[in-house]
C-alpha cells in the first residue's frame, strides 16, 4: 500500500504545470475570479432548493422561518473550508482543486478518490442544474412558445405526470421522452468554454451581475409584503429542521471551491485566489439571508408546507403569487423566472469549466489517458475533456431525475471538503516551513472545525445518499486499480525497478481497496435500513442497484484483471515476500468473488 500513498511534492506539481504543452493561458484577475465564484454559488440552490429546505418533504423536516439560521450554519461550515481552500490555492496555484491538494498531502490513491469524487460535484451537480434549468426555461417561454412536455422531461418523471406517456410519440411501442432542452443548454455552454476562458469569464460576469439584480429585485419588492408575524413559529421542527434545512441548502453553496480550479489561468494566483474564494462566499451569504428573510416573511410556514410540496421547483415565483401583488404580478413572476434561468446558466458555465480541468490534472499525472491532457493549439483550453464532459453531462441530463442528482452532489462535495481540511492539517505537520502567501487563522482550529461541520451536514442528508456515494467510490476504485495504478507518472509500471513486484503490489493494494469498498457498501446499506427503522432482513432483501452494480464490478471486472496481473508476475519469478503478498491477494479476490456470487444468488432466489 505504500506506493499508493506516495506523495507528489508541491515542487513537482508546480514543475509539471510549467511544461509548454501542458500549460494554460493566464488571463484572469481578482474581479473575474470573484465573479466566477459568485456565478457558481448563486444558482439552482437559492432558486429551487430553498423551498424544500423551508417546507421539508417526506424524508426530512423543514426549517420554516429558521431557514435563515440554516443558511448561517451552512455558511459557517463552508467558511472554515473556504479558508483551507484559500491556503491550498495560494500554495499550489495549479488546476485540479482538491485533487491536486490531496496529491500533495495525502497520497496518490486519496488524490484519485478525490478526483473521482469531484466528478459528483461538478459533472453530476451540473446534471441536476441542467434539469432544473430546463424546467424554468419551459416556464419562461411558455407565453410565447409551448415546448412539448416529452422534450423537457425524463422518463422516470414522465410516469408521474398524468397523460404525458400517452401523449408522447412512440417508436415500436416505446415512448420517446427525453430532456432535449437540458441537453441543448449543456451543448451551448460547452461550445463557449472550448472557445476560451477569457471570453467565457467575461460572459459569466454579465450573467452574475444580472442575477444579483434579480435577487435584489425580489428582496426590494417582496419586503413590502413580508411580515414578522409569518416568522412564528420560528423553528417549527427545532434543530432537526434547521439541520436538515442546512443539509439541503448546502447545494446552494456548492461553487466557491470551483474558483481554485482556474488557478493556472489566474494572473496572480497567490493573491487573487484567496480573494476570489472568500469574497464570493461572503457576498453570497449576505444575499441568501436577505432572500430567506423575505421569502419566509411572505408565506407562513403552514402555507409553505401545504403548497411547496407540489411546487418546490419555483419557490420564489410562488412567493410573488402568494403575495397577491396585483396587475403587475405576471411581470414580476416573469422577471424572477428570467433571473432563475440566468442563474442556472452561470452555474452551468462555471461547473462545466471546472470538471474538464480536474480531468486535465489527472491525465497530466497519468491516472487517466493522455488524451485528457490535450490543450487546443489556438484557444489554449482543455478542449478534449471539455467536449467529453459536455457530452456526458448533456446525455445524463436527458434521462436523470433531479432529486437523486442533488443528494449525490451534496454528499460527494462534503466528502471532498473534509479531505481538503484534513490535507491542511497534514501539510501543517509535515511541511511547516512551506511558504504560505495565505494562511488559515487560529492554527489547526479552522481545518478541524471545517471537517467536523461537513460531517454534521452529511449526517442530515437522506440515508440513501450514503449508499449511492459508497457505490460511486467503488466504481472509481475499479478504474484506478485497472488503469491508474499502472500508468501513474509517479508510481506506475514505467517507474518500477521490478515489474513483478509492482504487479503484486498494485494487485494486493487493489484487493484491500476492494474489500474496503465492499465494507463501505454493506455499512451504508445497513445505516440506510437503520435510519429508516427497517428490520435487518428487510433492508438486505430489498435489492438496490447502487449496491449490486459496484459489487459485480469488484468481483467480475477488477478480480479477473488483478488475477491475470498476479499470474504474469508469478510466471517471471517472485521474491518470497512478494509471493506471500500474491497468495494473500489471490485469496482475497477469490473470497470477494465467492461472496458476491452468493449475494447475487440470494437476490435471485428472493426476486
371-417 pLDDT, tens per residue? Answer: 777 777 777 777 788 888 889 899 988 888 777 787 788 898 898 88
First to last CA, the chain: 39
Of residues 329 and 84, the one with the higher pLDDT is 84
Long-range contacts of 461-466 (CB under 8 A, 24+ apart): 461/247, 461/407, 461/410, 461/411, 462/59, 462/60, 462/407, 463/527, 463/528, 463/531, 463/532, 464/407, 464/528, 464/546, 465/407, 465/408, 465/410, 465/411, 466/411, 466/524, 466/527, 466/528
Cell triple for 416? 471532498
48-84 pLDDT, tens per residue? Answer: 788 888 888 777 888 889 999 999 899 888 888 888 8
Residue 19 pLDDT > 70 = no
pLDDT band at 92 (very low <50, low <70, confident <90, very high): low
SS3 170: strand
Cell triple for 209? 451581475
pLDDT at 368: 85
Q: What is the mean pLDDT of residues 242-254?
A: 88
Closest by CA to 134, choosing from 124, 126, 143, is: 126
pLDDT at 174: 83
Greatest Cα-to-Cα distance within the chain, rounded to the nearest angstrom: 85
Decide if 402 contacts 408 (C-beta within 8 A): no
When computed from its CA atoms, the radius of gyration of the chain, rounded to whole angstroms, is 25
The 10 Å Cβ neighbour count of residue 556 is 14
Decide if 294 contacts 222 (C-beta within 8 A): yes
What residues have CB less than 8 Å from 477, skipping those under 6 apart?
113, 510, 513, 514, 517, 554, 558
Residue 282 pLDDT > 90 = no
Q: What is the mean pLDDT of residues 206-224?
A: 84
Distance CA 419, CA 91 (A): 17
Q: For a pLDDT cut of 70, what percent of the chain falls above it?
A: 85
pLDDT at 360: 77
Residue 533 pLDDT > 70 = no
438-451 pLDDT, tens per residue? Answer: 788 888 999 999 99
pLDDT at 312: 45
CA dist 147 → 47, 139, 142, 152, 161 (Å): 22, 9, 7, 8, 16
Q: What is the mean pLDDT of residues 304-322?
A: 70
Count of alpha carbons within 13 angstroms of residue 422, beta-carbon side: 18
Decide if 152 contacts 179 (C-beta within 8 A): yes
Left if phi > 0, otherwise alpha if psi is -120 to 50, otherwise beta: which for 56?
left
CA dist 161 → 150, 164, 165, 195, 314 (Å): 11, 6, 8, 39, 17
Rounded to the nearest 5 degrees, what angle is found at the Cα of 163, between the Cα atoms of 157 and 168? 80
Cell triple for 155? 422518463
* Range with the largest mean pLDDT of 309-313, 377-381, 494-498, 590-594: 590-594
H or E stretch covering 133:
helix 125-141
Decide if 481 contacts 510 (C-beta within 8 A): yes
Closest by CA to 510, choosing from 570, 472, 555, 568, is: 555
Cβ burial, residue 522 (10 Å; 0-12/13-18/19+): middle
404-434 pLDDT, tens per residue? Answer: 787 788 898 898 889 889 888 988 888 888 7
DSSP 28: B
Torsional sign, CA 95, 286, 322, 338: negative
SS3 365: coil
Domain boundaries, the chain: 26-459, 464-606
Cβ burial, residue 463 (10 Å; 0-12/13-18/19+): middle
In residues, how long is the chain? 607
Rounded to the nearest 5 degrees, what angle is found at the Cα of 536, between the Cα atoms of 468 and 409? 15
pLDDT at 13: 56
Decide if 254 contacts 129 (C-beta within 8 A): no
Residue 299 pLDDT > 80 = yes
Residue recorded with cell 515489474: 499
CATH domain 26-459 topology: Amino acid/polyamine transporter I (1.20.1740)
Distance CA 123, CA 394 (A): 10
Distance CA 603, CA 541 (A): 7
Left if phi > 0, otherwise alpha if psi is -120 to 50, otherwise beta: which for 406?
alpha
pLDDT at 367: 86
Phi, psi for 175 (deg, rounded to 5): -70, 140
Rounded to the nearest 5 degrees, what angle is found at the Cα of 304, between the Cα atoms of 300 and 310? 160
- Mean pLDDT for the chain overall: 81
Of residues 460 and 206, the one with the higher pLDDT is 460
Amino acid at each position: 500500500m505504500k506506493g499508493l500513498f506516495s506523495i507528489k511534492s508541491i515542487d513537482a506539481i508546480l514543475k509539471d504545470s510549467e511544461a509548454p504543452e501542458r500549460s494554460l493561458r493566464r488571463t484572469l484577475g481578482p474581479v473575474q475570479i470573484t465573479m466566477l465564484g459568485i456565478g457558481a454559488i448563486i444558482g439552482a440552490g437559492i432558486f429551487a432548493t430553498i423551498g424544500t429546505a423551508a417546507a421539508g418533504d417526506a424524508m426530512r423536516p423543514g426549517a420554516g422561518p429558521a431557514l435563515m439560521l440554516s443558511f448561517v450554519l451552512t455558511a459557517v461550515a463552508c467558511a472554515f473550508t473556504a479558508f483551507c481552500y484559500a491556503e491550498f490555492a495560494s500554495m499550489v496555484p495549479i488546476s485540479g482543486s482538491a485533487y491536486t491538494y490531496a496529491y500533495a498531502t495525502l497520497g496518490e490513491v486519496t488524490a484519485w478518490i478525490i478526483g473521482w469524487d469531484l466528478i459528483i460535484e461538478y459533472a453530476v451537480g451540473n446534471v441536476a442544474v441542467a434539469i432544473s434549468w430546463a424546467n424554468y426555461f419551459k416556464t419562461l417561454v411558455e407565453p410565447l412558445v409551448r415546448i412539448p412536455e416529452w422534450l423537457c422531461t425524463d422518463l422516470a418523471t414522465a410516469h408521474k405526470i398524468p397523460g404525458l406517456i400517452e401523449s408522447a410519440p412512440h417508436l415500436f411501442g416505446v415512448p420517446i421522452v427525453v430532456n432535449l432542452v437540458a441537453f441543448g443548454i449543456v451543448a451551448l455552454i460547452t461550445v463557449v468554454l472550448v472557445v476560451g476562458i477569457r471570453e467565457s469569464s467575461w460572459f459569466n460576469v454579465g450573467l452574475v451581475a444580472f442575477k444579483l439584480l434579480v435577487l435584489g429585485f425580489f428582496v426590494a419588492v417582496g419586503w413590502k409584503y413580508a411580515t414578522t408575524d409569518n416568522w412564528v413559529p420560528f423553528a417549527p421542527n427545532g434543530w432537526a429542521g434547521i439541520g436538515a434545512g442546512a443539509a439541503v441548502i448546502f447545494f446552494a453553496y456548492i461553487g466557491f471551491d470551483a474558483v481554485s480550479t482556474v488557478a493556472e489561468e489566474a494572473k496572480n494566483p497567490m493573491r487573487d485566489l484567496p480573494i476570489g474564494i472568500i469574497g464570493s462566499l461572503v457576498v453570497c451569504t449576505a444575499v441568501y439571508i436577505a432572500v430567506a428573510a423575505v421569502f419566509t416573511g411572505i408565506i407562513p410556514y403552514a402555507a409553505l408546507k401545504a403548497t411547496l410540496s407540489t411546487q418546490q421547483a419555483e419557490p420564489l415565483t410562488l412567493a410573488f403569487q402568494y403575495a397577491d401583488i396585483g396587475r403587475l404580478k405576471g411581470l414580476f413572476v416573469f422577471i424572477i423566472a428570467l433571473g432563475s434561468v440566468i442563474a442556472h446558466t452561470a452555474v452551468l458555465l462555471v461547473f462545466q469549466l471546472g470538471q474538464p480541468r480536474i480531468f486535465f490534472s489527472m491525465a497530466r499525472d497519468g491516472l487517466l489517458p493522455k488524451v485528457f491532457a490535450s490543450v487546443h493549439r489556438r484557444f489554449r483550453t482543455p478542449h478534449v475533456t471539455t467536449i467529453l464532459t459536455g457530452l456526458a453531462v448533456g446525455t445524463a441530463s436527458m434521462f436523470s431525475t433531479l432529486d437523486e442528482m442533488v443528494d449525490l452532489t451534496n454528499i460527494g462535495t462534503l466528502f471532498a471538503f473534509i479531505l481538503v481540511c484534513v490535507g491542511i492539517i497534514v501539510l501543517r505537520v509535515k511541511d511547516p516551513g512551506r511558504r504560505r502567501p495565505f494562511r488559515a487563522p487560529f492554527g489547526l482550529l479552522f481545518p478541524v472545525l471545517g471537517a467536523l461541520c461537513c460531517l454534521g451536514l452529511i449526517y442530515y442528508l437522506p440515508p440513501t445518499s450514503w449508499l449511492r456515494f459508497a457505490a460511486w467510490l467503488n466504481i472509481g476504485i475499479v478504474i484506478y486499480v485497472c488503469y491508474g495504478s499502472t500508468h501513474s507518472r509517479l508510481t506506475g509500471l514505467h517507474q518500477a525497478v521490478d515489474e513483478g513486484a509492482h504487479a503484486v503490489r498494485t494487485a494486493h493494494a487493489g484487493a484491500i481497496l476492494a474489500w474496503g469498498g465492499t465494507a463501505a457498501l454493506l455499512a451504508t446499506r445497513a445505516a440506510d435500513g437503520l435510519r429508516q427503522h427497517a428490520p435487518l432482513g428487510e433492508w438486505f432483501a430489498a435489492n438496490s442497484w447502487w449496491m449490486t452494480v459496484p459489487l459485480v464490478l469488484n468481483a467480475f471486472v477488477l478480480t479477473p484483471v488483478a488475477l491475470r496481473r498476479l499470474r504474469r508476475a508469478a510466471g517471471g519469478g517472485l521474491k518470497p515476500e512478494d509471493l506471500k503478498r500474491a497468495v494473500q491477494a489471490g485469496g482475497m479476490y477469490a473470497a470477494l468473488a465467492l461472496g458476491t456470487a452468493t449475494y447475487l444468488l440470494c437476490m435471485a432466489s428472493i426476486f
